Amino acid sequence: MPGVEDWMNCPLTIIQHLFEQSNGGFSSDPVKEYFSKRLQSEEARSWVPSLNDVALHNLKPNTIVKYRCMIQDMFDPELYLGVYEISDLSSGEDKLVCGKYKDIAECSPQQVINTDSRRNQPMDRQTFYCVPIPGESDWVKLGHTKQNKYDKDTASTRSRLKRPLDDVDDEMGGEKHANINGDDANPMNGDSDNGPVNGSNGINGNQANPVNGNVRCKQPDLNHPLPGETGLTCLVKIYDEIDTFKVNDCVEFIGILSVDPAMAQFENSNSEESLVPEFETPEERQVHSPPPSLVPRLHVLLHTKLQHTNPLVLSDTKHIEFTIKLNQVKTEVSKIREELLSTLEHILLGDKLAAEFFLLHLISRVYGRADVMPLGKLTLNISGCPNSRYYGGLINRFISALVTKCHLLPLTINNMNSMKLIPKKDLKANRLESGILQLSDNTHLVIDETVLEAGQLNPQGVKNITALGNLITWQKVEYDFTFHSQQFQTNVNVLILSEGKSLLPSDFQIPLEKKASPEDIQKHFEELDSKLNEEWLNTLRTYITLTQLIDYTVSEDLQTIIQDDFVNSRKDSPKAMSIEDFHSLLNLLRLQAVSQCQTSPTPDMWNKVKAMEEERKSRLTSTANTTSATS
């Protein structure tokens, strides 16, 4: 049995030992228990190399790594040999081997796999196609990288991926796998450059044959939802709790890295045998079995669903350090809130009311649903924005410096007519093609309507505008499955910047009342650089994340006050306060309370949000009258 220091480098050896201890009645529970004990602390996890930070060629195959990602697609269940029998050609001894947590069923040159053995146990597992979290801010990536104590400079570079993919053909031809369970080689030293045994069985029962050296692999589409994004994608293989996951979940997986070149599917019309079932199309083959040098496999041992990805705040809200951080922010909340409002007022050209609404927008999120109605969202339309092609980008850059995930969508006619916002199922390749609106929870989407010019929307453009409207109103996106649509609930925070009233719906429109009209808008934003140092930015980042996680209740006394207010308003004028207006006020009240790190609102807060809403509506009326007079 490996020592304690070997558990990260020798997980398969440990798993085989646990399997042998179970006398063939093997489940994943002992494996999860073993690795959970060693990875229960943040300190222990910080020593695990991350696929988000460390280049793949610097990582040893079959070692433990972690991966922070979004589930972009879920493939069909995959059959594999969970337990298989091998026979020693010299001694004639038979032995059972665990096939979990690896892709290729292997044996030493002195052994053969008994494919007809009755003791073989076929099993199934789920495969997810995962991508780096779309729109993740640079400061988030850097923060996680700094927390990782794994030294990539000391990592072995002698993995089989150190050569280009074109050289994989040569290393697979006629050579045998290093011994995983035999005595003549160290199975977990990561130094083997050998391919699989010629003629040995793949873990899914298919023959692992050498590939024709003249065949070249077509570069696969890595299917990132947002244009221009890069980063390592991964095929994540799940063995337990499969039903707890869904598309677009953000998860940190910890598992065993698998990069065996035998897993790559090369198109070869001359080959007599295939590594995949005959019913798979070439397109499906390429998507589901891309080169592991581009899309590695990760066999999951442990996972953590991420409520947020802020590296400054612990994910576990019950941890003592989370409570300490929250209490620290509570003691400074007045100063933090005042300084943040001052900064927002600056970028909104001196408008205090708009700054108040902007702050509440930043910390808003969907916290629940009443039937189909999402609760908690605050889609804000700031109209009257300056006529500058830079303003939208500058606002987006500012938001990206504060929140964990953000994306700018310029609303031009050309973009609407040509962009693919809605994910679509490719039936031929049996995969979900990503779209821009395939975003994880708590992503901020900045829609810049100031760049919109006159033009004609084509059918694709109309479809995209409709999709944006559904996202804003119902917090859902209807994915295109060719013969039907399927609704996926979202939790995306939408900000719309426009000159006039937006053509898209919103929860609150606020016309900008500019107290300043800078000639150079870029220099105006640069004036904040000295104020927004890294320490202060980290304070704001922590504040925004924590306020989104605060529990909220309304006292019975305040409920009575609010109900009386509503009844009295309706008595004076039924049109003065509609049901929708009342719900909007309740949402503002909740956000006003949590923005001050309070779990319950006060009567003063209720009066404040009523005053804010009254001033906003007055401004809308004034703007409408001015527009009518001008026209």
Q: Which of 21-35, 58-72, 525-539, 554-568 has the lowest mean pLDDT?
A: 21-35
Going by pLDDT thresholds of 50, 70 and 90, the confidence category of residue 417 is very high
DSSP code of residue 513: -
Superfamily, domain 320-549: P-loop containing nucleotide triphosphate hydrolases (3.40.50.300)
Give residue 263's pLDDT: 72
pLDDT digits (tens, 9 = 90+) for 282-318: 888 888 889 999 999 999 999 999 999 999 999 888 8
pLDDT digits (tens, 9 = 90+) for 57-70: 999 999 999 999 99
Cα distance between residue 416 and residue 461, in whole Å: 4
Give residue 489's pLDDT: 97
The domains of the chain are located at: 4-305, 320-549, 550-631
pLDDT at 272 over 60: no
Q: How far is CA 434 from CA 78, 191, 406, 439, 561, in A?
A: 22, 37, 17, 10, 48
Give residue 5's pLDDT: 53
Contacts of 496 (CB under 8 A, 6+ apart): 379, 380, 381, 382, 447, 449, 502, 504, 506
pLDDT digits (tens, 9 = 90+) for 430-489: 999 999 999 999 999 999 999 999 999 999 999 999 999 999 999 999 999 989 999 999
The fraction of the chain above a pLDDT of 70, given in percent, is: 85
What average pLDDT does range 43-61 have in this prediction? 94
Neighbours of 631 (CB within 10 A): 5
pLDDT at 174 over 60: no
What average pLDDT does range 321-336 have in this prediction? 95
pLDDT digits (tens, 9 = 90+) for 454-469: 999 999 999 999 999 9
pLDDT at 545 over 50: yes
pLDDT at 359 over 60: yes
- Of residues 93 and 138, more confidence is placed in 138
What average pLDDT does range 511-519 have in this prediction? 94
Going by pLDDT thresholds of 50, 70 and 90, the confidence category of residue 156 is very low
What average pLDDT does range 273-280 have in this prediction? 53
Give residue 23's pLDDT: 76
Cα distance between residue 245 and residue 94, in whole Å: 38
Neighbours of 11 (CB within 10 A): 25
Cα distance between residue 59 and residue 590, in whole Å: 47
Q: Which helix (H) or strand (E) covers residue 509, if one does?
A: strand 508-511
